Structure 1
């Protein structure tokens, strides 16, 4: 009787079958992306596959693990670099924002200082004639004045001397004023009025705004005078007879005369 050899557990797989199994394992690993393009070299580097064929697979797994570790380390370093760059960018933006804020605050401080300086300038008073003196005082008596006394003060000045507005205000009257000759009346910002008389020429017009020290006329000897000078009055209204002490008025506004 002829006996056929039944397949049994006591017989190992043939060489061809072992190669097939190993190749299938490598293909499976390659397909799943575990070893990628390194599968071939890693597999070739191992010793000849014998016995169960596990040696090649173990060697291939160590290579993949090293590759994964290297990739993870590289990714970690890249992430750390990115975080460092983001932190530097945040610090740079914060510094730029702080610098912009400081610059804006400095500009605002400069504007406030300029406004305050302008406010002080507009509220300041000056003498109507620079480097002069009072030649005839307030309320001086005599026949030269129709009221019997001087309603203002006279500043010594030759014809053609510049006359200045003593403070900020609006011109309300210009032209001939009878005994005052050529005159200018200004309504001051504090509600009082100032008059400049006996002028040789006038340099402003009604409705014009003036500021302290603004040149408004030239002194002269027009009207009822005995010689060139500037007649200056301070008033509570634009009308004759509402005069107040011009020296006290100017001194109350900081003018030293």
Structure 2
């Protein structure tokens, strides 16, 4: 007898077929080594497909490298800046020290120049005796028939022939030659406007127009002219000629010479 499948909502006869298919599918999965429920995906598998490469990891690596590079560059720039600052500081210090040393050297040089100038000025304004280590053998205004005026117009310094005769101060030679009774003589116009005379010389060491300084050798003593023996006749005058004499001892002492 034939059965006819009912129509409508009573379709129970289909379910076994679907159930059978599900069971078959499970069996197939079991044969492949995967156990999974029908309603959910497999919970475990021996081979897992690699995750899709999104580039995130590579970006992180590149970011780290870039950050390291920037940090290294910043460190290098900072080190360079510190080195430049240190060098600039050292150069500034060296320049300051060099300037200070130069300033001190210039100050020392100026002090030396000033001291030398002062010493030279003092030397030029200093007076000395016309003959060193000597003494006055005949005084000023001594009376004697040996002098035409009847008195001595200067002073005589004891000096053997050939003794060095010195300018008593700074001045200019206005006469160097024969002076009659004075024998060979030299007359010097001093810087202060006075005159000095040196007589009875044996030889000259200067000439007319020559500038002389204190203590400079101008001649050698002798016994030329109207004399009784070798000596140096010294006069101080207000003018270059005979008759303008002044006290030579007072003149020398006024200029600091101990006679």
TM-score by length of 1: 0.78
Q: 1:81 deviation in Å?
A: 1.2
Q: Deviations over 1:47-66 (max 9, x none)?
A: x8736443332333233222
Higher gyration radius (CA): 2
Superposition RMSD in Å? 1.5
5+ residue gaps, structure 2: 1-49
Alignment match of 1:189 (pick from 191, 196, 202): 191
Q: Classify 1:203/1:66 alpha carbon distance in 2 versus 1 (closer, same or farther; 3 Å).
A: closer
CA contact (8 A) 1:49 1:55 kept: no
5+ residue gaps, structure 1: 1-47
Q: Classify 1:175/1:56 alpha carbon distance in 2 versus 1 (closer, same or farther; 3 Å).
A: closer
Matches of 2:51 and 2:238 in 1, distance apart?
Answer: 122
Q: Classify 1:204/1:51 alpha carbon distance in 2 versus 1 (closer, same or farther; 3 Å).
A: closer
Matches of 1:63 and 1:219 in 2, distance apart?
Answer: 105
Q: 1:101 deviation in Å?
A: 1.7
Q: How many residues align?
A: 210
* Runs of 4 or more above 3 Å deviation: none
What is residue 236 of structure 2 aligned with on the other side? 234
Report which stretch shifted further, 187-196 or 156-165: 156-165
Matches of 1:251 and 1:49 in 2, distance apart?
Answer: 123
Matches of 2:100 and 2:246 in 1, distance apart?
Answer: 57
CA contact (8 A) 1:165 1:211 kept: yes
What is residue 214 of structure 1 aligned with on the other side? 216
SS in 2 for 1:71: helix
Alignment match of 2:200 (pick from 198, 201, 208): 198
